[in-house]
Amino acid sequence: MKDHPAVAAQGLVKRYKKSTALDGVDLEVPHGTVHGLLGPNGSGKTTTVRILTTLTIPDGGQASVAGWDVRTQSREVRRRIGLTGQQTAVDDLMTARQNLTMFGRLFRLNRIDAQRRADELLDTFSLTEAADRTPKKFSGGMRRRLDLAASMILAPEVLFLDEPTTGLDPAGRREVWEAIRHLAAQGTTVLLTTHYLDEADKLCDRISVIDQGRNFIEDTPAGLKRRIGDEWLELVASDPADMKNLEQLVTRILGTEPVLENAEARLSISVKDGVAALTAVAAEISAQRLDIADIGLRRPTLDEAFLHLTTPVAENSLEETR
């Protein structure tokens, strides 16, 4: 076990003219994990990544990647990281194999080693059958996997992914998710920014939520969801006219007033013991012979947790400087 985090930051500050993009961001990412940075547009996610990858110099605070200081040891940091931005970097006029071989040569591998590494990565990212095709004939997911492969030429300790699946269809996103899971399983530390909450939920071990240049909460995806309740009991009335009776029934039994969604004739309420709450409410509905269209339990989504955590402060968030 290494004696330093894969990524560490304390009090990062970055200012652009009169705007403050980062205002004291702290971060600690253990080795071999996938860590997500979530936040509204302009929250400071991309600025954080640019500092950690030595593309931007912070105005305050400290940060290290793979144990090396991003400000004073930037060359050592670059030797140990990979970065995939929002736009793909592959050449459409070259085949997949030629692209990866070229990147290997740019990283100063000799020709034989570059070709060998290209073949390894084509296999790793399930692109062997497409090795001699040009990326312009690829699907979006295949192009993105090729881009990820290019960032892995030197098998970096830490891989930074900035919105890795932007613009991809669901099939393409799943392909990229599988590639990221494979990298993490092989020991690569991954730090990603994303606007897709389901993506963070499925991929990340831990998530830092940042807004207005500050990280104000860090937790596991499950922990973030628990902050707005362990489970939700939902009821849908067959007749909207019965909603008032259902609302009073639920309030009386559970002691908490439910949320009413008039557009769907639906009641929702956060509960600790979902099965017990469901059983009690269903029994009373049956006893009173009320007609309902549906009743059930569900867990909060990360989207709901994100909105719950960020909505009060998101209105004045800065436009992110890239």
Residue written as tokens 């890795």?
Answer: 164
Q: What is the pTM of this model?
A: 0.76
How is residue 52 written in tokens?
């950690």
Instruction: Name the CATH code of domain 7-225 (choices 1.10.3720.10, 3.50.50.60, 3.40.50.300, 3.40.50.150).
Output: 3.40.50.300
Q: Please check whether residue 11 is in contact with residue 26, taking contact to mean a CB–CB distance below 8 angstroms.
A: yes
Cα–Cα distance measured from residue 47 to residue 57, given in angstroms and rounded to the nearest whole number: 10
Run of H or E residues at 72: none
Which of 26, 12, 24, 17 is closest to 58 using CA atoms?
12
Q: What is the pLDDT along the chain (322 residues), one digit of tens a residue?
A: 467 899 999 999 999 988 899 999 999 999 999 999 988 888 889 899 999 999 999 999 999 999 999 999 999 999 999 888 777 678 899 999 999 999 999 888 999 999 999 999 999 888 999 999 999 989 888 888 998 888 888 888 999 998 888 878 888 888 888 888 988 888 999 999 988 888 898 999 999 988 888 877 889 988 888 776 668 888 998 888 888 888 899 999 998 888 877 666 788 888 888 899 999 999 999 998 888 899 998 887 787 777 777 655 434 433 343 3
Distances (CA, A) of 96 to 103, 156, 169, 173, 232: 11, 20, 21, 19, 48
Q: Please check whether residue 319 is in contact with residue 42, taking contact to mean a CB–CB distance below 8 angstroms.
A: yes
Each as own residue / partner, the long-range contacts of residues 182-185 (CB below 8 Å, 24 or more positions apart, any chain) are: 182/124, 183/148, 183/152, 183/159, 184/32, 184/33, 184/34
DSSP three-state, residue 121: helix
Cα–Cα distance measured from residue 5 to residue 29, given in angstroms and rounded to the nearest whole number: 6
The fold adopted by the segment(s) 229-299 is Alpha-Beta Plaits (3.30.70)
Cα–Cα distance measured from residue 187 to residue 48, given in angstroms and rounded to the nearest whole number: 23
How is residue 87 written in tokens?
């736009």
pLDDT the model gives residue 160: 94
pLDDT the model gives residue 262: 63
What residues does each domain of the chain span? Answer: 7-225, 229-299
pLDDT the model gives residue 131: 95
Which of 35, 69, 36 is closest to 52 using CA atoms?
69
Domain pair 7-225 / 229-299, same fold: no
pLDDT the model gives residue 314: 39
